[in-house]
Amino acid sequence: MIRLVVATRNKKKLSEIKDILKGINIKLLSLDSFTDAPRVREDGKTFRENAVKKAMKLARFTGEICLGEDSGLCVDALDGAPGIYSARFSGRDKSDLKNNIKLLKLLKDTPFKKRKAYYVCAVALADKRGVLGVVEGKCSGLIAFEPKGSAGFGYDPLFYIPKYKKTFAQLGEKVKHKMSHRYHALKKARRVIEKCVVKSPVN
C-alpha cells in the first residue's frame, strides 16, 4: 500500500483529511510518525507557497510522498486578514479561543451584511524529486456575532453558512466535509493523488 505523509501534527485536521480522502488505497501518516521531522517555517506570502514548502521539505526528509496543506480565514472587512496568519492571529500564546476572541473584537462595530469571509485551503503534493501538483479550494460565509457549536476547530464556531443558517461548528463533520474549503481542495488533490501517487509510486 502506498504511504502518504500529511505534513501536520494537528489530529483534527488529519482526521478531516482522512475522511475526505477515504476510498483511495493509501495509508495516511502524520508527522507524529516522524518524531525528528524538521519544523517548517510558514513564511510564505501565500497559502500556496506555504503548502509547497511543507510538502517539499518533508518529502525530502522522509523520502515519502507528502501532502502539504495551508489554510486560513480571510475577512473582507479586515482586508483579507487574518489570512496566512490565521493560526497565529492572537500572537505567541495563540489558541483557537484567543483567535476567535480577537476576530470578534476587530469586527465588533461591523454589521452582519459586511462580515463576509471565506476560508481558503491550498494543498501541495510532492515527492523527493519535486512538486507533483498544487490545488486550492474556497468556501464563503459570514462571521457570526458569537461562537456557536462544538464541532470542528479553528474559526468554525464563527464561520456562518447562510444556506444552513448555522456555523461550521453547528453543522458538524458530516455536512462540513462535503462543502468546506478543505473538501474542495482535496477533491482536486484526489485526482492528482490517483494519477501521480497510486499509479506511479516512488520507489
Compute, in degrees rounded to 10, the torsion defined by CA atoms 176, 180, 182, 188: 120
Which of the pair, 9 or 140, is modelled with greater confidence? 140
| Letter string b/e over residues 57-66, b meaning 16 or more CB atoms within 10 A of that residue's CB | bbbbbbebbb
Residue 80 confidence (pLDDT): 97
Residue 200 has pLDDT above 70, yes or no: no
Active-site position among 19, 43, 70, 109: 70
- Within a domain: 188: yes
Per-residue confidence at 203, pLDDT binned at 50, 70, 90? Answer: very low
- Within a domain: 8: yes
- Within a domain: 123: yes
Question: Domain range spanning residue 69?
Answer: 2-198
Residue 192 has pLDDT above 80, yes or no: yes
Domain total in the chain: 1
The question of whether 70 is a catalytic residue gets the answer yes
φ/ψ of 139, rounded to 5, equals -150, 125
Distance of CA 31 to the CA centre of its chain: 15
- Within a domain: 145: yes
Residue 168 has pLDDT above 60, yes or no: yes
Bridge-partner residues for 160, per DSSP?
Answer: 142, 167
Rounded CA-CA distance 148/118 in Å is: 18
Per-residue confidence at 2, pLDDT binned at 50, 70, 90? Answer: confident
* Amino acid at position 43, single letter: D
- Omega before residue 111 within 30° of 0, cis: no
- Within a domain: 70: yes
Helix crossing, 11-21 with 181-192: angle to 10°? 60
- Within a domain: 112: yes
Q: What is the CATH number of the domain that holds 38?
A: 3.90.950.10
- Within a domain: 55: yes
Per-residue confidence at 198, pLDDT binned at 50, 70, 90? Answer: low
Long-range contacts of 154-161 (CB under 8 A, 24+ apart): 154/73, 154/86, 154/87, 154/96, 154/99, 155/73, 155/86, 155/96, 155/99, 155/100, 155/103, 155/119, 157/100, 158/100, 158/103, 158/104, 159/73, 159/117, 159/119
Q: What is the pLDDT of residues 58-117, one digit of tens each?
A: 999 999 999 999 999 999 999 999 999 999 999 989 999 999 999 999 999 999 999 999
Which of the pair, 11 or 158, is modelled with greater confidence? 158
Q: Which of 189, 41, 46, 37 is nearest to 126 (CA)?
A: 189
- Within a domain: 203: no
